[in-house]
Amino acid sequence: MREWWESKRQVLRDKREGEGRYRFSDFITEVLCWVPELLIFPFRLLYWFVKGIGRLIGFILDLT
């Protein structure tokens, strides 16, 4: 039993040490996640800006 446990611990320890590497597949995954965000962000910013200006104008018109 002890030998099995020691070999299991060694396998887990080796697995943990290998997780620190940054592989090419990790890079591709991150790029595929960030590209849509970079394409959509300017339109979202424009939408928030127009919406904010509209609310400001609406607030000013409600005061008069």
Query: What is the tens place of the pLDDT at every residue in 5-14?
Result: 778 777 777 7
Query: What is the tens place of the pLDDT at every residue in 14-41?
Result: 766 556 677 888 889 888 989 988 899 9
At 8 the pLDDT is: 76
Provide the Cα torsion 6, 9, 14, 19; round to 10°.
180
Q: pTM here? A: 0.50
Q: What does the alpha-carbon distance between residue 9 and residue 43 come to, in Å, rounded to a whole number?
A: 51
At 18 the pLDDT is: 57
Domain ranges for the chain: 2-63
